[in-house]
Amino acid sequence: MRPAAPCPVTRQPPRRLLAATAGLFLLISGLASPASADERPEILNILSQFVASSTAAARCDEIDDDQMVAFLANQQMIYLQSVMALEDQHPEATGEQIAATLLRGQEDIQTQVRQRIDEHGCDDPNAQALIELFAMQAEWRPGRSPRNDTE
């Protein structure tokens, strides 16, 4: 359910943004389930951020078509890099196993974000941080420096 008007997005300090997504990373066992290594590839953390932010934005914000297309293009690139990282880490895994692992992780993250929003609403600082992250991920242009406030 969306609010009558889009939730206002305010710029959060980087620490708050990290805190908003850090809890999600710790609870995402689905992405690491077939892993025997001690650490999962960093790209999976980035993919987790994309999934969490898109879930919050879809629930709490109005997303225009151009923003969604840009976001999905960036998310697809991160997804493909995640698949390659898992293939490197687990050469014995099939493509279907890797896809199933990523899907389980995505579903876990979406469930966690939805539960948080159901309990605390779209005005929750964590939800707002994820919505802001979604906007930044949609604006991201790989290979370019991040925009600054003077541009």
Q: For residue range 25-53, list pLDDT tens digits in order.
A: 433 333 344 444 446 689 999 999 999 99
pTM: 0.71
Higher pLDDT, 9 or 134: 134
Higher pLDDT, 116 or 11: 116
d(CA 52, CA 18) in angstroms, rounded, equals 12
The DSSP code sequence of 64-91 is -HHHHHHHHHHHHHHHHHHHHHHHHH-T
Using one digit for the tens of pLDDT, what is the confidence trace for 71-112?
999 999 999 999 999 999 999 999 999 999 999 999 999 999
- Distance, first Cα to last Cα, the chain: 35
Output the pLDDT for position 131: 97
Domain boundaries, the chain: 15-31+40-139
d(CA 7, CA 124) in angstroms, rounded, equals 10
Mean pLDDT of 60-71: 95
Output the pLDDT for position 36: 43
Give the C-alpha distances (Å, rounded to integers) separating 6 from 2, 42, 54: 8, 32, 15
